[in-house]
Structure 1
Amino acid sequence: MCIHTNLAPQAKPRIINKTNPNTQGDYMLGTKKYGRLCNFTLAAALLIGVAAAPAVAQSFPDEPITVVVAWPAGGGHDTVTRLVTEHLSQELSTSVVVTNVPGAAGANGVRQVEEADADGYTLGVLGVHATAQSYMNANATDLINLDPLAVINIEPAALAVRRDTGIDSFEAFLEYAHNQPGGIINGNDSPGGFSFLNAAFIESYFEIELTKVPYQGYAPTVAALVSGEVMSTTLPVPMLADLHDSETIQILGVAATERHFRVPEVPTFAEMGYDYVMTDYVMVFGPRGIEDERRATLETALLAAMEQEAFQERGRAMGLMLSPGGAEAAVELMRSMDDLIYPVMQDADLVSTRER
């Protein structure tokens, strides 16, 4: 099984001209032509008022923007979103507020954005979960109703175990799983979430059976792993790197074509002889139908925010594989992931709501 994602060339964002057209000359009163000048001045004012109306209406943004995260606070998507919005607010000169709307493996939050007014003031973030949910949940959003704006990062999945399990390699993991079907208790998110998909795909590809225990997002999954409620987990690398460093857990393998810079000592599955690559991503989107100039404003600001040195430094310190891209790249990534993940979901018997 091999799931790869490649970003398309970044679309060149359009720059909105914010030049104020409301300029006028001075007028002298108190002359013999006072009456005519008054009439002229009144007419000019009326014309200027008419001309100014569209400019005021087009001022965007002039109120706070809300970004919906479809997972609880403290998880991967939440952490990335808060990092981006901090810098986005500087670019847009307005408040950008993050709100968490968890539930249904991310479907609730995505649907809230889908149903919002397409005015650019309500955005969201999504990943692979949105693609999966569209085939698993009858109430999930059809991706055609969303407007991708920018890609933030692309993260490979990983497989990790607690050190006290005695499993010290991926081969030992497979041996344990084959000898005791269902004996490995794995922590993951709800059906359709990325770590659930990673666990299900590992089961399908390696022909093993795990006991998958669902949690509402990455943060509670990590807590369950630390407390010993579960033996293993299938989260992305950034959520596990610190625990790996402290030797609380051991990351057995990374589902990428190259090793992750945060844990360079951990081999990829490809290095171990298995063609298994599985990546998640975080992108910003809005409801379909946002007016073109507002979309361009948002895209330009998002790209500028992600170009800031402070954003880059903090993202790397957090272990994120940043992959900034504009709307064109986001559309292509969503399309390619849909093409790649659907047959894998079919093989894992996860397509239950609709077929392509």
Structure 2
Amino acid sequence: MKKAITASVLLASALTSGMALAEYPTKPITMVIPYNAGGGTDVLARALQPALEKSLGQTIIVNNIPGGGGILGFTKVATAKADGYTVTIPNNVIFATEGMGNATYKSTGFDYLGNVLTEDYVVAVRADGPWQTWDELVEDMKANPGKIKFGFSGYGGSTHVASAILARNIGYEVKQIPHDGSSKAVVAAMGGHIDALMLNLGDLASGLESGKLRPLLSLGEKRMEEYPDVPTLKEEGGELLLTNWRGVAAPAGVSDEVKEAWGEALKAATSDPAFVKAIAAQGATIDYVAPGEELDQRMQGLAKEFIETAQELKQ
């Protein structure tokens, strides 16, 4: 009789435990954005928010924690409890900062819950500046080493590493100027405090739409649909191809149930008509990849490329 009671208790406990996991999420989820409001990552988070709330059945709290080129916000997530209630939207910056030795986390300290977007790196200049084409800007940068003020988002971050890779690939020298977040870099360029900058197309949206910035070059594989007159670096004779990604990640160690819930939610969100329309306006490409082996292998490949390049830059 005692054994029967014990078995019943264990069975009830197991069922209760299973029900608890299956019920995820049971409370609001905090999505940490490690940049100021208005940048590409923030815009993506707020575009995803309604569809994710519908799929997950819980409130998504978008919490902007800027600082250190994303390091402060990513650190908060990497050190949070791995229960699926604290997530973030990472990109190549987590690999770049690790390679530069600036980060207090490692890229392996995250579980990747799904890829959402792929974006090109784009070089833009002040619309009222003297450069109408990429060739004109390159000629000036080569003729006047260190004169041109070239901005990006965050020292040691994704766009810093990408900017350095481009400069080395083309053979010019500029005055590299980091900013605390993409939105501040855009404001600096529009205000004439820097001459040119490299960001992802989504991060440049406000400056381009205002007419105060002009795109000169894409580092993507093909021309941007929104700016068909802007050439790719390959068309300009370069061999470099650089793209960024944005997805959702949690602290390493979340359960399979959490991964499954986020995979299904992101799949639904990325096909939501309102989200598709919002992303089309930003010039990014929806590139959903579910959590699992394919995504993990992609992240491992990007990590290797960016970490090794960043390590070379700091030498």
Do 2:107 and 2:303's aligned partners in 1 also have CA atoms closer than 8 Å? no
The CA deviation at 1:287 is 0.8
Pairing 1:272–2:248 present: no
**Partner SS, residue 168 of structure 1:** coil
5+ residue gaps in structure 2? 1-7
1:345 counterpart residue number:
310
Structure-2-length-normalised TM-score: 0.90
Trace 1:136-151 onto structure 2 (pairs within 5 A). 136-151=100-115
- Give the counterpart letter for 2:251 in structure 1: P
C-alpha distance in 2 between matches for 1:202 and 1:51? 56
Structure-1-length-normalised TM-score: 0.80
Query: Which structure is larger by alpha-carbon Rg, 1 or 2?
Result: 1
The CA deviation at 1:184 is 0.6
2:252 counterpart residue number:
288
The CA deviation at 1:317 is 2.1
C-alpha distance in 2 between matches for 1:159 and 1:304? 33
Q: 1:143-167 CA distances to partner (integer Å, 9 max, x unpaired)?
A: 1221011001011111111133211
Residue of structure 1 aligned with 2:20, choices 57, 64, 74: 57
Do 2:91 and 2:244's aligned partners in 1 also have CA atoms closer than 8 Å? yes
2:123 counterpart residue number:
159
Pairing 1:225–2:197 present: no
- Give the counterpart letter for 2:216 in structure 1: L
Say if 1:246 and 1:286 are closer, same or farther in 2 by CA, change over 3 A: closer
C-alpha distance in 1 between matches for 2:132 and 2:150? 16
5+ residue gaps in structure 1? 1-44
1:88 counterpart residue number:
52
The CA deviation at 1:130 is 0.2
C-alpha distance in 1 between matches for 2:265 and 2:144? 52
2:87 counterpart residue number:
123
Q: 1:118-148 CA distances to partner (integer Å, 9 max, x unpaired)?
A: 1111111111110011111354311122101
Q: 1:201-251 CA distances to partner (integer Å, 9 max, x unpaired)?
A: 222112211112221111111111111111111111233356446643321
Say if 1:208 and 1:48 are closer, same or farther in 2 by CA, change over 3 A: closer
Question: Runs of 4+ in structure 1 displaced over 6 angstroms?
Answer: 45-49
Trace 1:205-284 onto structure 2 (pairs within 5 A). 205-241=169-205, 243-244=207-208, 247-284=211-248
Do 1:259 and 1:268's aligned partners in 2 also have CA atoms closer than 8 Å? yes
Say if 1:167 and 1:146 are closer, same or farther in 2 by CA, change over 3 A: same
The CA deviation at 1:344 is 3.3
The CA deviation at 1:47 is 9.7
1:193 counterpart residue number:
157
Do 1:182 and 1:209's aligned partners in 2 also have CA atoms closer than 8 Å? yes
Do 2:124 and 2:197's aligned partners in 1 also have CA atoms closer than 8 Å? yes
C-alpha distance in 2 between matches for 1:50 and 1:202? 58
The CA deviation at 1:333 is 2.3
C-alpha distance in 2 between matches for 1:91 and 1:174? 47
Q: 1:75-130 CA distances to partner (integer Å, 9 max, x unpaired)?
A: 11111112112210100111011111222221221111111111111111111110
Of all paired residues, the percent bearing the same amino acid is 26
**RMSD between aligned alpha carbons?**
2.3
The CA deviation at 1:55 is 4.8
Residue of structure 1 aligned with 2:134, choices 170, 174, 179: 170
Do 2:41 and 2:89's aligned partners in 1 also have CA atoms closer than 8 Å? yes
**Partner SS, residue 89 of structure 2:** strand
Give the total of aligned pairs.
308
1:202 counterpart residue number:
166
- Give the counterpart letter for 1:237 in structure 2: L
C-alpha distance in 2 between matches for 1:46 and 1:146? 36
The CA deviation at 1:310 is 2.0
2:5 counterpart residue number:
none
- Give the counterpart letter for 2:274 in structure 1: A
- Give the counterpart letter for 2:54 in structure 1: Q
Do 2:100 and 2:311's aligned partners in 1 also have CA atoms closer than 8 Å? no
C-alpha distance in 2 between matches for 1:72 and 1:278? 24
C-alpha distance in 1 between matches for 2:214 and 2:17? 59
The CA deviation at 1:297 is 1.4
- Give the counterpart letter for 1:66 in structure 2: T
C-alpha distance in 1 between matches for 2:36 and 2:182? 8
2:3 counterpart residue number:
none
Q: Decide which moves more: 66-75 or 311-320.
A: 311-320
C-alpha distance in 2 between matches for 1:78 and 1:246? 19
